């Protein structure tokens, strides 16, 4: 089938800076080696993965200051088409440091610039202008300071008006406010799903029940729950599927969820019957790269041959 255009929305993008130190220690100058810079933020990461998969896409995001200019240059280097919205505040930076002595990874996430009502309105207007003929809209990541909790619910209404299917990956109040607003896919982690359910979900059956409840209530057509090393679960009205993650030698923890969501939307758009398996392979492939480099298509294809999605009862009987 012919694939349509995909738009991503990232309301709080960042220049992701990563590198390594031998050991973290207080009150010392820590000499970082192997410094790398990538454009980041949830929706931007999805766009980077989709561009590698050959999607026709556009990334919409606010851009501010010198860091924002550097951010867009990094995005251009990856061949991601963009619609940047100028804002007064400086685009943020995030920092990921790998400690070589222990193998631990430390992530330092800054809040980002506060956006006022006019700037938020400009972002939504830019999004609306670019939704004509779009198959999928993906919004992923945190909201910047000053953004209302119902922003993603407003985005969902724009997608619905344009006839685009909407996939959302966020957490907390912005996630809760968007439920039932016309989501095609919502992608919580187990912890985020526990927040929505208001209870712990220690067993696979608990996760499945909470995901099924969201679908049954009209919260979303599909609930894709990422389970870390345990893989992922995908619930719809018709079925619940589970796929184990392949064993990989992880070099990072950054970008696995974004890679998963990008690959899931890609597989849905191309009518792939093994969409969950492909998405789990992409999330696992992201762990193989250093820092914030994200997944590579050849790694996705290789790992996808090791992943099989199966029904819930079959998964629970193992």
Q: Which of 16, 244, 258, 299 is catalytic?
A: 258
Both tokens of 17, joined, read 């800076």
Q: Tokens standing for 42?
A: 């949830």
**CA atoms of 120 and 118, how far apart (whole Å):** 5
Report yes or no: 126 and 85 within 8 Å, Cβ to Cβ. yes
Q: In what order do the strands lie in the sheet with 33-40?
A: 33-40, 14-21, 92-99, 104-109
Write out the DSSP string of 250-318.
-S--SSHHHHHHHHHHHHHHTT-TTHHHHHHHHHHHHTTSSTT----HHHHHHHHTT--EEEHHHHHT-
Q: Are 3 and 269 in contact (CB under 8 A)?
A: yes
H-assigned helices in 59-112:
65-77
Cβ distance 39 to 15 under 8 Å?
A: yes
Query: Do residues 59 and 83 make contact, with C-beta atoms less than 8 angstroms apart?
Result: yes
> Is 253:260 a contact under the CB 8 Å cutoff?
no
Residue 258 a catalytic site member: yes
What are the residues whose beta carbons fall under 8 Å from the beta carbon of 214, sequence distance 6 or more?
179, 186, 196, 220, 223, 235
Residues with active-site annotation: 258
């Amino acid at each position: 089938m012919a694939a349509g255009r995909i738009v991503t929305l990232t309301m709080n993008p960042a220049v992701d800076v990563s590198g390594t130190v031998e050991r973290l220690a207080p009150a010392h100058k820590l000499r970082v080696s192997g410094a790398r810079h990538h454009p980041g933020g949830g929706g931007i990461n999805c766009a980077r993965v989709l561009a590698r998969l050959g999607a026709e896409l556009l990334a919409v995001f606010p851009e501010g200051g010198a860091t924002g200019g550097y951010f867009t240059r990094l995005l251009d280097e990856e061949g991601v088409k963009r619609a940047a919205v100028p804002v007064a505040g400086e685009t943020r930076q995030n920092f990921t440091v790998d400690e070589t002595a222990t193998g631990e990874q430390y992530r330092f996430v800054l809040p980002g610039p506060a956006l006022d009502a006019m700037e938020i309105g400009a972002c939504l207007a830019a999004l609306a202008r670019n939704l004509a003929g779009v198959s999928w809209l993906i919004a992923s990541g945190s909201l910047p300071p000053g953004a209302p909790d119902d922003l993603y619910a407003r985005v969902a209404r724009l997608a619905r008006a344009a006839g685009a299917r909407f996939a959302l990956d966020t957490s907390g109040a912005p996630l809760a406010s968007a439920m039932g607003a016309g989501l095609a896919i919502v992608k919580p982690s187990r912890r985020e799903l526990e927040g929505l359910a208001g209870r712990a979900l220690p067993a696979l059956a608990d996760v499945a029940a909470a995901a099924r409840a969201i679908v049954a209530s009209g919260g979303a057509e599909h609930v894709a729950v990422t389970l870390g090393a345990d893989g992922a679960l995908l619930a719809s009205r018709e079925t619940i599927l589970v796929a184990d993650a392949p064993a990989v030698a992880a070099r990072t923890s950054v970008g696995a969820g974004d890679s998963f969501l990008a690959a899931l939307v890609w597989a849905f758009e191309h009518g792939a019957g093994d969409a969950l398996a492909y998405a789990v392979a992409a999330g696992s492939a992201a762990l193989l790269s250093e820092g914030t480099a994200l997944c590579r298509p050849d790694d996705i294809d290789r790992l996808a041959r090791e992943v099989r999605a199966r029904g819930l009862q079959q998964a629970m009987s193992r």
